[in-house]
Amino acid sequence: MPTPEHVILRELITHDPDWVSGGDLATKLGVSRVAIWQHMEKLRSAGYVFAAQRARGYRILERPSSPHAASIETQLKVRPRGFSLVVVDETDSTNDEASRQLGAGRPAPFAVIARRQTDGRGRLGRVWHSEANGNLYLSIAFRPRLPPERMGAFTLWMGLNVCELLANFAKVTPGLKWPNDILFDGRKAGGILTEARIDADEIRDLVFGLGLNINSPATGWPTDLGQRAVSLSEITGAPLDFNRLTAALIGRILLAYQKFVDGDYTKTFADLWHTYDILRGREIAVLEGGRRHVGTVAGLDDEGALLLRDSSGRTARYRAGEVTLEKSRSLAP
């Protein structure tokens, strides 16, 4: 149900950079100009800066740099029936919050975004650095009711869709490092953590978590992270519109999920993999269960497992693990 702030934002964003008259907004909402002024104050406190002139009305000068629910909802172009979004200041982990809300019966799909996480998690039990610094901490919850074996390539498929969205939105060239890293020239800008609860041979709850460095200066992070991490704004050289990008990402993720569930993704998967995979033909090491396996990447199997050819020509498949690139010796595929 759109609130007055949604209606006002939709008008201002649609007409940006032009003016929208206070009188027109008042008529549209059936309220007084004073009421419009009060709604504008609420939007200002969320981070909007407006130009206001008695004769012309309002126009947007600056947009919030941190998550704002009405801004995201107003700019969402894909909205499945029943979809909802919650933005919180702080939570332990948006994946955990989404999982708790699924457990409490909240209708799926829904998205949870936090300005900061106190216990942000990455794969393999790692900490995900989650200050309130202009980066995105997003989880989207689904109830797929699919057999677990259908989910093998899910994280890769979603990562590829995130890469393509970023490439189109920000005119950048991301790469996907199997299984879940979004990189720019070897530096990590994002990661995906997919978690599922399985019930009687079907996936009951699925939480897709995305951490994406959007506007943080990596120089403000702990040194080890600062050297390996990068944010989109460092790549583009200018801050990005956080809420517009977040709305575009959520839309793409919702569409990609639906295609995956419908089984309508294999051809696009192959095309996207060809474009964004950064490991093809590379010599790498996979760390899995405490063992290190070195070989040349030979592709993926149907379930998204990585195929690695060792020096004796044997090919092994890895469903999980941590990949490191061996000293940049690129081998033929």
Considering the complex, state which of residue 64 and residue 209 has its C-beta at the smaller distance from ligand BTN.
209
CA dihedral 40, 46, 50, 54 (to 10 degrees): 20
Contact 282, 330 (CB under 8 A): yes
The residue count for binding ligand BTN (CB under 6 A) is 21
**Nearest distance from residue 214's CB to ligand BTN, in Å?**
12
Considering the complex, state which of residue 124 and residue 238 has its C-beta at the smaller distance from ligand BTN.
124
d(CA 17, CA 315): 57
**Nearest distance from residue 14's CB to ligand BTN, in Å?**
30
Considering the complex, state which of residue 139 and residue 296 has its C-beta at the smaller distance from ligand BTN.
139
Query: By CB under 6 A, is residue 22 in contact with ligand BTN?
Result: no
Task: Mark residues 34-73: x for contact with ligand BTN by CB under 6 A, - for none.
Answer: ----------------------------------------
Chosen residue from 64, 67, 211, 321 binding ligand BTN by CB under 6 A: 211
Residues 119-148 that bind ligand BTN (CB under 6 A): 120-123, 126, 128, 137-139
Tell me which residue of 261, 254, 263 sits closest to 78, measured CA to CA. Answer: 254
Considering the complex, state which of residue 9 and residue 182 has its C-beta at the smaller distance from ligand BTN.
182
Considering the complex, state which of residue 8 and residue 306 has its C-beta at the smaller distance from ligand BTN.
306
Considering the complex, state which of residue 126 and residue 319 has its C-beta at the smaller distance from ligand BTN.
126
Region binding ligand BTN by CB under 6 A among candidate stretches 7-15, 116-124, 237-245, 271-279: 116-124
Region binding ligand BTN by CB under 6 A among candidate stretches 35-43, 56-64, 114-122, 149-157: 114-122
Residue of minimal CB distance from ligand BTN? 191
Task: Mark residues 153-192: x for contact with ligand BTN by CB under 6 A, - for none.
Answer: ---------------------------xx---------xx
Residues that bind ligand BTN (CB under 6 A): 93-95, 117, 120-123, 126, 128, 137-139, 180-181, 191-193, 209-211
